[in-house]
Amino acid sequence: MIELKNVTYTYPHSDRPALSNLSFMVRPGEAILVTGVSGCGKSTLIRLINGLCPHYYGGNVEGTICIDGKDNMKEKLCDISHRVGTLFQNPESQFFALGVEEEISFISECKGVHPKEIQTKLSQTAERFNLKPFLKSIIHELSQGQKQKVGLASLMMEPLKALILDEPTGNLDPEATLELAEEIKKLKAQGVAILIVDHRLYWLKDVVDKVIVLEKGKVVREGIFPDLDSEFREKYGLRKLEVTDKRLLLPVKTSSGKPIMKISKLSFSYPRQPEIITDASLEFQQGICGIFGDNGAGKTTLARLITGLNKAKSGTFQVKGKTIRQKDCLKHVAVVLQNSDHQLYMRTVFEELRASLEAAGCKGGNDAAEELLGIFDLQELRDRHPHSLSGGQKQRLVIACAFAKKPDVIILDEPTSGLDGANLKRIAGALKKLSSEGKAVLVITHDLELVDLICDTALHLPLPVQTANQPFIN
């Protein structure tokens, strides 16, 4: 079980506690959800339970944190990890191996399990998480959703007393999300104590036994799902309890006027792999187009092709009727990739925004940066180092940097994966404004709430072969 008694934690060089007087218990066979706005202390709570705070990050802990009856403060970090497994929000941060098969087997090998037993467990676990076709793959070639499955599969190779899931559905398609819900129910039946940190609530309604809501490091409500009424969720920036899946209800526009961007005869394959896009033609017009598909369908690859980050095997590119080289697409297209850490380089949030504005050739960089801080609710984080922010705060920052470019086309790859309800609405409003200014907005997302809020049209992947006179049109 997981048990916290009167826990207060303060990071090194901070004069304010990140968490204050927390007390709760997760019993064997029980699942508890912890939610709250970005920066409320959810990640810190995870670090306290898995021992990273204070054994790695340092800081001061008051109160007691026990896993299976043993006090974390008296245990080594390596011993704590034998009792509690963690799936981090960014699964790349916990991988040790290059290959999928090696990564999933890693924990069992470290524990000295016999190779034959490892192979049996590996086969069963890969089947369980639909990873058999990818066992011989290199991890960095997988989609983020597939990486998330690999991270969870590796944890399931050996018995655990407790499991922590940090935003586990952030990169999963809705179908895989429902599969995860069933896996959690099975783990509960096996007596595992499960702590889930997530902004998305709808998929957990019949899964968790209790909900804890944090605000500025303190518990503001502890109860069950019906306690999260609409007034309370609005007050504390939480998401919806029920969501309608509108992906298949969105229309495909007919061609009208000149497209902002047109791509013809696009083909692409990764080295030593079959083509994943063959002879496709696309048009993107003013509006907000949702790009949908299963994990691994090629959504992120398409985004990288449109921006010129991946070199196409063939294809022609036009922006506002003018043919351009693929490598020049990035001058007209802004992109927000899934892993925000890969797009942050400066020492402060303000410097990050100002650098983006300067790169885009915008005058009055300081004033424009201040305006973006306000639009994306980043004023209090102005002087923070970008990599010290929470996942949701980083996400808002990289989106703000993309807006600074004032592009003709903006592509956002899972832009709301770590966002609470209040900031989801904030991003949705900003994207609608961008669309109203004549821009083409392409949103790669599994977030059904975002789809409901903003998407006008849909593009479903994988793309079938198209003829030049029958393009996909957003």
Positive or negative: CA dihedral 86, 88, 89, 91: negative
Q: Is residue 363 predicted with pLDDT exceeding 80?
A: no
* Cβ–Cβ under 8 Å, residues 138 and 98: yes
Predicted local distance difference test score (pLDDT) of residue 268: 94
Torsion of CA 193, 197, 201, 206, to 10 degrees: 0
Predicted local distance difference test score (pLDDT) of residue 471: 46
Predicted local distance difference test score (pLDDT) of residue 254: 56
Q: Using one digit for the tens of pLDDT, what is the confidence trace for 415-434?
A: 988 789 998 998 999 899 99
Which of 63-67, 103-107, 252-256, 373-377 bottoms out in mean pLDDT, i.e. has the lowest?
252-256
Predicted local distance difference test score (pLDDT) of residue 349: 94
Q: Is residue 474 predicted with pLDDT exceeding 80?
A: no
Which of 210-219, 383-392, 425-434, 465-474 bottoms out in mean pLDDT, i.e. has the lowest?
465-474
Residues 6+ apart with CB under 8 A from 255: 283, 471, 473
Mean pLDDT, residues 276-295: 90
* Cβ–Cβ under 8 Å, residues 416 and 455: no
DSSP 138: B
Predicted local distance difference test score (pLDDT) of residue 142: 87
What are 275's two structure tokens?
């083509």
Which of the given ranges, 5-14, 255-264, 333-342, has the highest pLDDT on average?
A: 5-14
Phi, psi of 298 (to 5 degrees): 110, 15
Its pTM stands at: 0.84
* Cβ–Cβ under 8 Å, residues 454 and 427: no
Average pLDDT, whole number, for the chain? Answer: 90
Tell me the residue ranges of DSSP E strands in 114-229: 162-166, 193-197, 210-215, 218-223
Predicted local distance difference test score (pLDDT) of residue 464: 62
Residue percentage of the chain with pLDDT more than 70: 96
Mean pLDDT, residues 196-222: 95
Q: Taking each helix axis as running N to C, give the angle between helix 115-128 and helix 100-110, from 0 to 180 degrees, rounded to the nearest 10.
A: 130
Residue percentage of the chain with pLDDT more than 90: 66
Q: Using one digit for the tens of pLDDT, what is the confidence trace for 4-38?
A: 999 999 999 888 999 999 999 999 999 999 999 98
Decide: residue 240, CB within 10 A, 0-12 exposed, 13-18 middle, 19+ buried: middle
Residues 6+ apart with CB under 8 A from 52: 46, 77
Dist. CA 335–CA 332, nearest whole Å = 10
Q: Using one digit for the tens of pLDDT, what is the confidence trace for 150-208?
A: 999 999 898 888 999 999 988 888 888 998 999 999 999 999 999 999 999 999 999 99
Predicted local distance difference test score (pLDDT) of residue 131: 93
- Of 230, 215, 225, 85, whose CA–CA distance to 158 is shortest? 85
Quote the distance between the C-alpha of residue 147 and its chain's center: 11
Q: Is residue 469 predicted with pLDDT exceeding 50?
A: no
Q: Could you tell me whether strands 277-284 and 333-336 are parallel, antiparallel, or unpaired per DSSP bridges?
A: unpaired
Which neighbouring-strand residues pair with 329? Answer: none
Q: Which domains does the chain have, with CATH numbers?
A: 2-235 (3.40.50.300), 261-473 (3.40.50.300)
Could you identify the residue written with the tokens 């029980």? Answer: 30
Phi, psi of 264 (to 5 degrees): -125, 145
Which neighbouring-strand residues pair with 64? Answer: 5
Which of the given ranges, 60-74, 253-267, 348-362, has the highest pLDDT on average?
A: 60-74
Residue type, 145: G
Could you identify the residue written with the tokens 């790009």? Answer: 291
Mean pLDDT, residues 111-116: 92
